Structure 1
Amino acid sequence: MTVAVLLVATVAFRLLGLLGVRRFATWRVSAAHGLAVMLVMTASAHFVPGDVTFMPNYDDMVAMVPSFVPFPGFMVYLSGVLELAGAVGLVLEPTRRAAGICLALLFVALLPANVNAAQLGLEDVGSPLWQRVPEQVLYIGIALWAAGLRRPSADRPAAVDHQRVPSDQGGGR
Structure 2
Amino acid sequence: MAPLIALFAGTAVARLAGLLGLAALDGWHPALRVGLALMFALTGSAHFLSRRADLIAMVPPGLPRPALLVTLTGVLELLGALGLLLPATARPAAAGLALLMLAMFPANVSAARRGLTLAGRPVTPIGTRTALQVIFVVAALAVVFG
Q: 1:66 aligns with which of 55, 60, 65?
A: 60
CA distance in 2, matches of 1:68, 1:103: 23
Aligned to 2:106: 112
| Runs (5+) with no aligned partner, structure 2 | none
Shift of residue 123 of structure 1?
4.0
Aligned to 2:15: 14
**Count of matched residue positions in the alignment of Structure 1 and Structure 2:** 142
| Runs (5+) with no aligned partner, structure 1 | 152-173
- After superposition, give the CA deviation of every residue in 1:81-125 in whole Å (9 maximum; x if it has no partner): 000000000000110111011011000001011112222333427
Aligned to 1:40: 41
Aligned to 2:132: 135
Q: Which moved more, 1:12-21 or 1:109-118?
A: 109-118
Aligned to 1:3: 4
CA distance in 1, matches of 2:117, 2:16: 33
CA distance in 2, matches of 1:100, 1:2: 16
Q: Which has the higher helix share?
A: 2
Q: 2:75 aligns with which of 81, 106, 128?
A: 81
Identical columns (%): 42
CA distance in 2, matches of 1:8, 1:142: 14
Shift of residue 70 of structure 1?
1.5
| Superposed CA RMSD | 1.3
Matched to 2:102, the amino acid is V
Helix, strand or coil: the match of 1:68? coil
Change (3 A) 1:7 1:123: farther
CA distance in 1, matches of 2:39, 2:130: 17
In the superposition, the TM-score normalised over structure 1's length comes to: 0.78
CA distance in 1, matches of 2:34, 2:75: 18
In the superposition, the TM-score normalised over structure 2's length comes to: 0.92
Helix, strand or coil: the match of 2:61? coil
Larger radius of gyration: 1
- Given the alignment of the two structures, is residue 144 of structure 1 paired with residue 138 of structure 2, yes or no? no
Shift of residue 75 of structure 1?
0.2
CA distance in 2, matches of 1:7, 1:34: 6
* More relative contact order, 1 or 2 (CA 8 Å, 6+ apart): 2
Helix, strand or coil: the match of 2:21? coil
Matched to 2:27, the amino acid is T
> Would you identify which runs of 4 or more consecutive aligned residues in structure 1 move more than 4 Å?
none
